[in-house]
Copies of this chain bind each other. A is one copy, B any other.
Amino acid sequence: MDENFRIRKILDMQELNIQEIKNLNYKLLMVMKRIREVELSISKEYKNQEIRCPVHLSVGQEAAAAAIALNINKTDYSVSTHRGHAHYLAKGGDLKAMISELYGKKTGCSKGKGGSMHLIDKEVGFMGTSAIVGNSIATGTGLAEAAKLNSKGQISVIHIGDGALEEGVFYESLNYACLKQLPAIYLCENNFYSVYSPLKVRQPPNRDISALAKAIGTKFSYKCKGNDPVNAHNIVQKAIYQCRNNYGPIFIEYETYRWLEHCGPNNDDNLNYRDQKEIADWREKDPIKILERKLTQKESKDYELYKVYIKNEIAEAFQYAKDSKPPNYIEAFTEIYSSK
C-alpha cells in the first residue's frame, strides 16, 4: 500500500477503528499533529485579515479530541463550543469546508453564515458548535435522548470547557441525562481559564469537578490529569464502552492548557494573566512532543512523510478556501426558515 494512501485512510475517521496502525501512540499523534497544524496555519493566515471572524484555537489542547477521534463512530453524535475546530476534525469533519467557513465563503460548512464558532458536518454526526457558553450542552443532551430513542447504540459526545460548568444549563442537562440514563459523554477540557479569568475567581477552591458530576448523578466520572494523551484515550475508550452499554451519562474532566490567546491568532503571555512558570510547566507537557519522543524509528520515518502529507492537505484546503467564490450578499437574506 502506498504511503500516501495509507495515511489518507488513517485520516478518514471511519477507518481509524480498523487499526491499520497498531501503535496507539502513533495514531494519537497523527490526529493531534494534524489538528495542531491546521490551527497553526489559521494563526499564521489570520494576520492577512482575510479570516474576518473571531477564532478560538486549540493549540496545546489536542489530546482530548484525538482520544475521541480514535473511539467514536461516524453514526455517533458530537457537539462543541466556540473552541470547536479540534472536535470538528476529530469527528471527521471536512477540512476544506471548515477553512472555507473561516474565510466566509459559500463553500464553508455553514455557507459563511456561521464562521469559526459555527461548524457543522452532519454527514459525520458533528451536529454543530455554539458561540454561547454552555448552549450546546443541552443540544448534545437532546441528541443523546434521540440516540436512546433510536435504540441503535449511538452515543452523543458533548465537548465543553471549564467555564461552561458555571452555567446552570450544564447542571440541568446532566440532571436530565442522569434521570433518563442517556448515552451522553460530557467531555470537559479544563484549561483552567475562561478568557483571562482563572478558575479561582469562578469556582470554589479545590473543587473536584468529576466528583461534582458524580454527585449530580452520573455512575461514572473520570479525571484525566496533566494533558496525557494515552491516559485520555484509555479513559475515553472505557467511557464510550460504558456509555454504549447503558451505564448512563459519563463525565470526563481532562486537564489541559491553551497555548495561544483565548480568542485570536497570537500568543498573549505578555499580558501576564497566567504565571510564567505555569505556562512553562504546561509547555513541557506538550502532548505532541511527548508522543513524538515515543515513536519507533520506523514510525518516525512514516511520520516525516505524514507531516508532508498534512502540510499539503492543509495548504490545499486554504487554497480551496481562498479560491472559492464569495457568496453574494443577497444570500444573507435567505434560509431563515426552512419552510415558507
Contact = CB atoms under 8 A, between A and B. Distances in A.
Interface string A224-268: 000000000000000000000000000000000000000000000
A178 interface: yes
Q: Name A's interface SS.
A: helix
Closest 5 CB pairs of A and B: A168-B168, A215-B215, A204-B217, A171-B171, A178-B204
A201 B179 CA distance: 7
Given A212-B216, A215-B211, A216-B212, A172 B179 contact: no
A168 B169 contact: yes
How many copies of this chain does one complex carry? 2
Contacts of A301: none
A213 to B, nearest CB: 8
28 contacts: A166-B172, A166-B175, A167-B168, A167-B172, A168-B168, A168-B169, A168-B170, A168-B171, A168-B172, A170-B171, A171-B171, A171-B172, A175-B203, A175-B204, A178-B204, A179-B202, A179-B203, A179-B204, A204-B216, A207-B215, A207-B216, A207-B217, A208-B215, A211-B215, A212-B215, A212-B216, A215-B215, A215-B216
A134 to B, nearest CB: 9
Contacts of A113: none
A193 to B, nearest CB: 16
Nearest to A249: B204
A274 interface: no
Given A168-B168, A202-B179, A215 B214 contact: yes
Contacts of A166: 172, 175
Contacts of A208: 215
